[in-house]
Structure formats: structure tokens, C-alpha cells
Amino acid sequence: MQQEVFFSLKKIPLLAKLPDDALNALAAKAKPNKYIKQAVIITEGDKTNSLYIILSGKVRVFSSDDRSKEVTLITQEAGSYFGELALLGDEPRSASVEAVEKTTCAIISKSDFKQWLISYPEVAIGLLSDLSDRIRYLTDKVKQMALSNVYERTVKVLLEMAVQEDDILIIHEKPTQQELANMVGSSREMVNKVMKELTKGGYVVSKDRTLRIESKPPSSW
């Protein structure tokens, strides 16, 4: 398992240029844990004390209110990490994290990471840079939710999820309408209405587990 953690660490741009002995030292501190689909790995408001590195699977980072209304902030796959704010302070977790599919994470405690960081202080600069990028992404997402309507946000999310294949954009793992609503920050009913209009207009075609974007939808409806 330590070797699996080592190779996952090498995939993270923040750590990729470090010497192998440094990554092996960090991998040795990691404790692997497996999560079933829909398992909550971190709960918003919990005490912060660990960094999580995704070895396999996929997670979604989300926030919710007292009425259990959720908005998905970001999804992450193998070779990325979450919980990094725990390394910088003692504030409670700012968001929850759920396994989208069967997922394995390597967990590194705050104390172990800080001890390791003393030997490799250059990582701290890269960590701050990564945090800056994520803050920009989340700021843009908040701006979209405040200034864009449901149709515009739905189209943007679909385009971000799609990959180019020949002349067509394809989403290979089609999200459910509830998952899409969580990413858009709207009700399932509103997203369902938008998807019906996009399908009716011939912009998207749903087949099995995929969603094909046949042509770019108009910027506004």
C-alpha cells in the first residue's frame, strides 16, 4: 500500500518534483482507508486534523444548510487531495466530502505532515499556490450562482464536465438530475425543466450512461 500511496503522491503537481526519498517518507506516514459509495468522509463543522489523498475513486465536496439543501462545490478524482485547510489552522471543516463511488484515501495526520514539512519547506509555497487557485475557483462559482440564472449555470456545468471526442462533446458518466441540481445550486425540478428544453432543442442527447452535447447551447434561453 505504501508504494500505491507513493505513486499517487507523484501524480500531485504540488509534490511531483520532490525526490523519491521525500515522497516515500510522506507515504510511510499515510494510513489507507476505504469508503463505500455515498459514504461521508468528512462532515462540515467537524474538527480538522488530517489531509486526505485520493488513491482511487471519486469524491464530491459539498456544503449544506439547516434544511439539508446541498450545493456541490467541486468533484475530485484519484491523484488529488482534500482537507488541506486542516494543515493551516484549527477551524472546523468548511465543507463535507462524500464518496461518489467506491473510494480509497490515504490519510495523513496534521502532526505527521507538519513534521515532514520541516524537512521540505518548499512544499508550503506550492500548497499556498494551490489554495489560491481553489479560492479563485470557488469565488467564480459563487459569482455564477449570484449573477447567472439556472439555465446558464446548467449549461456551464455540462460543458465543464464534457470531454471532446471528434466533433462532439461527451459526458461519459451522466449525472443524475439530483446530482446536476447539486452542482448547479438549484432544485431538481428546475434542472429537469432546463434539460427537457435542451433535449427538445436537439442540443443534448441522452443514451445509456452518456450525455452527448451535439451542438453548443445558446448562452441564454
pTM of the model as a whole: 0.70
pLDDT in tens, 50-89: 889 998 999 999 988 766 678 888 889 988 889 887 777 7
pLDDT in tens, 151-197: 888 888 888 888 888 778 888 888 888 888 888 888 888 888 888 88
* pLDDT for position 146: 63
* Strand residue runs (E) in the chain: 31-35, 40-42, 50-56, 58-64, 70-77, 81-82, 96-99, 103-109, 163-165, 168-171, 204-207, 210-213
Q: Is the pLDDT of residue 144 over 70?
A: no
